[in-house]
Amino acid sequence: MLNRVIQQFGLQVRSINEVEDSFSSSVYKCTLSNSENVFLKIPFSKLKFQRELEAYEILKGSVAIPEILDYWTGDEECVGAFLLSELKGKPLTSKSTPTVAYQVGVLHAEMHSIQPPANKVLTSIQNEFSNWSNFIENQFYSFAEDVKDILDEQLYNKSIEKFEKMKKRLPSPDGPSFVHMDFRPANIIIYNEKVSGIIDFESVRFGSTEIDFTKLYRDFLSVDISLYNAYQAGYNSIRPIIDLENVLPFYRFTDAFNSIGWCKRRGMKENALFLEENLTRLKKWLL
């Protein structure tokens, strides 16, 4: 399939490396014969392809993102593919400085400032804001069908009880905003102490911003209070941030629970480490 996509785009490739930490799509960094680096992305499904294409159209000129150099809508065997420009740099890490964290906050707030376009009918990116509570509930109980096969009955029942109890304490949703749904360090590119941009838009929605802080907090902001404070200052320079202390516990809990279900769907052996991490997180919340 990779060779077909390379032929489709007419690329003269010198070397190819598969990008790590891409859990859904297949992503490859290609060095061309002219020494230019580009990225090939083959999404997990047709919907994810269409959603990403629509996201690039909406974000272009408003948020720092790669450029779509070309795309292929696919055929019976391939859902489609993107040829993307390179964002200089490497993924964000917990060793980054508060200066970088501030810029990440700015970038995140710029994205959250984007509302559903008034002059465009969305075909692939759903606007879930008006039914936000139902969206969160449906997502949780959908994954619960998979989680039920992994957790013992007592732990599973405790999870359901905790979800219902915590859900009632949530504030009114904040939006409608463009939410990434996978805003984590691997999708934020840094170069020379500056944010180059953000990647991976196959899960995006219009909804409440409250869901979009969870993974960044889990993998980056929770490491150091100075990063957490700098990020919030950067975000607040663009738009007011919600009360994270009020919503993070709920979303951190549901993220751990839903991630267990995701591992069941995508392969428990292939995602064994991620599964174990989330089982540990869930047990801390419950026990």
In whole angstroms, give the CA distance from residue 93 to residue 17: 21
CATH superfamily membership of 91-286:
Aminoglycoside phosphotransferase (APH), C-terminal lobe (3.90.1200.10)
pLDDT(277) > 80:
yes
Q: What are all long-range contacts of 225-228, with beta carbons under 8 Å and residues at least 24 apart?
A: 226/98, 226/101, 227/94, 227/96, 227/98, 227/101, 228/101
Question: Averaged over 137-155, what is the pLDDT?
Answer: 95
Residue whose structure tokens are 């919340």:
285
Those residues with Cβ within 8 angstroms of residue 179's Cβ, 6 or more apart along the chain or in another chain: 112, 204, 205, 206, 207, 208, 209, 211, 212
In whole angstroms, give the CA distance from residue 233 to residue 229: 6
Q: What are 257-275's pLDDT values in tens digits?
A: 999 999 999 888 888 999 9
* Same fold flag, 2-85 and 91-286: no
Which residues does residue 31 pair with via DSSP β-bridges, in sequence order?
15, 37
Question: Averaged over 120-149, what is the pLDDT?
Answer: 94
Residue whose structure tokens are 């003269």:
12
Distances, alpha carbon 272 to alpha carbons 7, 149, 260, in Å: 35, 15, 10
Rounded to two decimals, the pTM is: 0.91
Specify the pLDDT at position 22.
65
pLDDT(206) > 90:
yes
Name the percent of the chain lying above pLDDT 90: 83
What are the residue boundaries of the structural domains of the chain, listed by start? 2-85, 91-286
Those residues with Cβ within 8 angstroms of residue 121's Cβ, 6 or more apart along the chain or in another chain: none
Which residues does residue 71 pair with via DSSP β-bridges, in sequence order?
82
Question: Averaged over 167-177, what is the pLDDT?
Answer: 93
Across 145-181, b (16+ Cβ under 10 Å) vs e yields: ebbeeebeeeebebbeebbeebeeebeebbbbbbbbb
Specify the pLDDT at position 239.
97
CATH superfamily membership of 2-85:
Phosphorylase Kinase; domain 1 (3.30.200.20)
Specify the pLDDT at position 241.
97
| Angle (deg, nearest 10), helices 244-266 and 132-147 | 40
